Amino acid sequence: MKPRISLLVKLAAPLTVLILLTFGYPAYRVYQAVNDQMQQAVQTRLRGAADAVAAAAGNGVVGQISQTPDAVSSPGYTTLLPVLKAAQQAGGLNWVGIYYRDSARHLYNWIDADADQPGYPFFFATSEHQAALDDGQPRFTHYSDEFGDYYAYVTPVYGPAAGGAPVIIGLAEASVLEPTRQRRPSWAACCWRWSCRWWWRGWCSFSRCCD
């Protein structure tokens, strides 16, 4: 026996396809625009914090802090620490600090908003960290450690050289954890849930009219 397609399916199926075609692309564009605005807002916060820290630590200020654990009690450390804490709090960031690099191109913590001891190795330096120290150009970067996935902005810190020309002596970083970015649903999933909700409500309304 030839299967019969109900009137509800005949009406709802083409309407669902039409609505998805009509609203799917605009919905995706709106979703993309919102994501772009959120990304730009995060980048502005990161850039502002890192630039402020680099400016405060420049001109030899951070150079007054020795690269040893006992430096946390030094005047230079206690002077610069409130600047880092204020930048972290103002930007709602997870980490703000400054690294230094040794002759083997390994990065170490110099000072951070959490008041950690100088000299702790940074095991997760990316090519962007290294490049910013090499050419002096700020960069955005991603990296992961035992605490999570980070999105960061890094910018060089300058200090005076013997001849008076500024040289790069450290690297300021401002970063945020990004677990919410990874758990964010895709636009296709949002459109699918929306279309299913619309179809169910339409079916309920149609059923009541047919009763």
Does pLDDT of 105 surpass 60?
Answer: yes
Query: What CA–CA distances, in Å, run from 40 to 43, 45, 140?
Result: 5, 9, 12
pTM here? 0.73
Helix, coil or strand: residue 168 = strand
Does pLDDT of 116 surpass 50?
Answer: yes
Does pLDDT of 208 surpass 70?
Answer: no
Does pLDDT of 207 surpass 80?
Answer: no
- What is the pLDDT averaged over residues 59-78? 85
Amino acid identity, residue 20? Answer: L
Contacts made by residues 18-21, CB under 8 angstroms, sequence distance 24+: 19/195, 19/198, 20/191, 20/195
- Cα-Cα-Cα-Cα dihedral sign, residues 123, 127, 131, 134: positive
| pLDDT digit string, tens, across residues 124-152 | 999 999 999 999 999 999 999 888 999 99
| pLDDT digit string, tens, across residues 39-63 | 889 999 999 999 999 999 987 788 8
Beta-strand ranges (E) seen in 54-147 are 95-101, 107-112, 121-122, 139-145
The whole-angstrom separation of Cα 151 and Cα 144 is 9
Model confidence at 17, pLDDT cuts 50, 70, 90, reads low
- Give φ, ψ of 164 to 5 degrees: 100, -15
